[in-house]
Amino acid sequence: MEKPRIRALRQARLYGYLIDRTDRLYYPGGSHPVCSVQTAQEMVRAGWLVRRPDGRYEITPAGLRVLELEHPAA
């Protein structure tokens, strides 16, 4: 099973941001949670995501590097 942090970062990269609803993060228009708000806050502290004033969570350059390290280009 894919790690929740990596899955959340991939979804944030794909959709541009994640949305906080009912203590879970979802991709825009999604009905299945990507991760918990607690996990997202840990990623914000690590510098992988940034929380915008409108409640969106966006991936940072550090988060993109984590994804590159997880699956380096061939």
Q: How confident is the model at residue 2 (pLDDT cuts 50, 70, 90)?
A: low
The total of other beta-carbon atoms located within 10 Å of residue 30's CB is 15
Would you give the distance in Å from CA 18 to the centre of its chain?
6
The 10s digit of each residue's pLDDT in 62-74 is 999 999 998 776 5
Q: How confident is the model at residue 1 (pLDDT cuts 50, 70, 90)?
A: very low
The 10s digit of each residue's pLDDT in 22-71 is 899 999 999 999 999 999 999 999 999 999 999 999 999 999 999 999 87
Domain ranges, ordered by start, for the chain: 4-66
